[in-house]
Amino acid sequence: MGRAFVYVILGGGVSAGYAALEFVRRGVSHGELCIISNESVAPYERPALSKGYLLPEAAARLPSFHTCVGANEERLTPKWYKEHGVELVLGTGVKSADVKRKTLLTTTGETISYKFLIIATGARALKLEEFGVNGSDAENVCYLRDISDANRLVNAIQSSPGGNAVVIGGGYIGMECAASLVINKINVTMVFPEAHCMARLLTPKIASYYEEYYKSRGVKFIKGTVLSSFDFDSNGKVTDVTLRDGTKLSVDMVVVGIRIRPNTGLFEGQLTLEKGGIKVNGMFQSSNSSVYAIGDVAAFPVKAFGEKRRLEHVDSARKSAKHAVSSIMEPDKTGEFDYIPFFYSRVFTLSWQFYGDNAGEVVYYGDLSASGSTFGAYWVNKGHVVGAFLEGGTREEYEAIAKTTTLRPAVEDLTELERQGLGFAVAV
């Protein structure tokens, strides 16, 4: 059996939802567009899973956070897809793809053919087993990538009132989940191999601000080591965690956030890969002209940096989706993607934004010692401001640092930049 569509989006996450909205806005006809997703729900705003979804009260639940509410756009419920003639094939994985024949084979045995394919398969969480530790299947060991992971995490939280959690990994998942666990009155110990949290983005000085804040909320940090093994009870639940430095901690639950790997497997050997993702040009077109890739899985040229990057953040997922659809439907009117990376996080009452690139010399401003303060940093590379971080800013201040990293003003005197601080960005 088989069906044919003009446009197929493979994957039903953030970028798929934004692509669907853009297709409909550009006037796709009923029956031309199909989304295939192995998740059982329509595309939703994944960032909610580590924040609102884990709250002890008034927790976010679907359908409230279907895309595209995160960008203050329409909320695309299953009814919306139906009304606009977009075929949603949910709870269905694609198990093989043939880009020469332009076909996908699903886990239900259906062959779906396309004229244009958008790969929006995102990424999967790396498992402890990939680092030589067994135990991921225990019911109190939680990862966080999709709704089913989030439900398992909520169950573990509810089964551990006042209990102890170990959070493995000091990146985004680790930091955001640790905050959510504390809000749920669970005692948290964070374990990660680096010298400070969020090592991919933050400098030691900025990271230390967040670590001190977390400590003030009762979080303990064990740094410079990794998990070595688990002990289990007779029901297969993890009871103790042993670290490589010899520390043993008794636990009620474990949360693991140790990076992701893009879901490229279906296309290896068929499309050109780069930076662990699918290599695309500034129109999001892959090495096969009928196939596009967007979101976490795409390695696209970031003009301002003069190189390809694969970003793992929601803003690039949303904007790459819109741009790819524009490239497909109006190629003559669509230029190359021109994008400045944007990352953010919200934990407890803290909130930060980062724009651009964290390369070059760092110039700090504001008070990094006081809790609840406004502070930030600029990254100056080859005489230009290329990156900017701001904690606790206003909307206007965030817009100012965004504009600054887009314009990349020249800076000769770093001391003067430090003296002007946030005022420099506001005046740009």
The footprint of ligand NAD (CB under 6 A) covers 50, 131, 168-174, 176, 192-194, 199-200, 226-227, 257-260, 312-313, 343, 345
Distances (CA, A) of 9 to 13, 34, 292: 10, 6, 9
Closest distance to ligand NAD from the beta carbon of 60 (Å):
15
Closest CA to 50 of 63, 36, 60: 60
Nearest to 214 by CA among 174, 252, 253: 174
Subset of residues 77 to 106 that bind ligand FDA, contact rule: CB under 6 A: 93-94
What is residue 271's three-state secondary structure?
strand
Q: Which does 258 bind (CB under 5 to 8 A by kind): ligand FDA, ligand NAD, none?
A: ligand NAD
> Count of CB atoms within 10 A of residue 291's CB?
23
Q: Which does 170 bind (CB under 5 to 8 A by kind): ligand FDA, ligand NAD, none?
A: ligand NAD
* The two three-digit tokens of residue 405, written as one number: 């990293």
DSSP 244: T
Instruction: Write the DSSP string, 302-364.
Output: EGGGTEEE---SHHHHHHHHHHHHHHHH-GGG--------EEEEEETTEEEEEEE---SEEEE
Tell me which DSSP letter residue 279 carries: E
- For residue 80, what is the enclosing H or E element? helix 78-83
- Tell me the closest approach of the beta carbon of residue 428 to ligand FDA, in angstroms: 24
Which of these segments, 190-198, 199-207, 340-348, 370-378, binds ligand FDA (CB under 6 A)?
340-348
**Which of ligand NAD, ligand FDA, none interacts with 160 (beta carbon under 5 to 8 A by kind)?**
none
Q: Does 285 bind ligand FDA (CB under 6 A)?
A: no
Which residue number, 179 or 206, has a Cβ lying nearer to ligand FDA? 179
Structure token pair of residue 370: 């006081």
174 binds, options ligand NAD, ligand FDA, none, Cβ within 5 to 8 A by partner type = ligand NAD
Instruction: Select from 115-123, 194-202, 215-223, 238-246 the region that touches ligand FDA (CB under 6 A).
Output: 115-123
Min dist. Cβ of residue 256 to ligand FDA (A) = 12
264 sits near ligand FDA (criterion: CB under 6 A): no
Place of tokens 């031309």: 32
Q: Is 16 in the site for ligand FDA (CB under 6 A)?
A: yes
Instruction: Annotate 352-418 with DSSP letters as a single string.
Output: EEEEE---SEEEEEE-SSSTT--EEEEEEETTEEEEEEEES--HHHHHHHHHHHHH--B-S-HHHHH
CB of 389 to ligand NAD, least distance (A): 13
Q: Choose among 382, 368, 365, 372: nearest CA to 424.
A: 365
Report the residue from 66, 237, 313, 408 that binds ligand FDA according to the rule CB under 6 A: 313
Residue 40 CA to residue 62 CA, distance in Å, equals: 12
Tell me the closest approach of the beta carbon of residue 89 to ligand FDA, in angstroms.
Answer: 9
Exactly one of 165, 243, 314, 340 binds ligand FDA (CB under 6 A); which one? 314
Residue 193: contacted member of ligand NAD, ligand FDA, none (CB under 5 to 8 Å, by partner type) = ligand NAD
Residue 22 found at the interface with ligand FDA (CB under 6 A): no
Selection from ligand NAD, ligand FDA, none that 37 binds (CB < 5 to 8 A by kind) is: ligand FDA
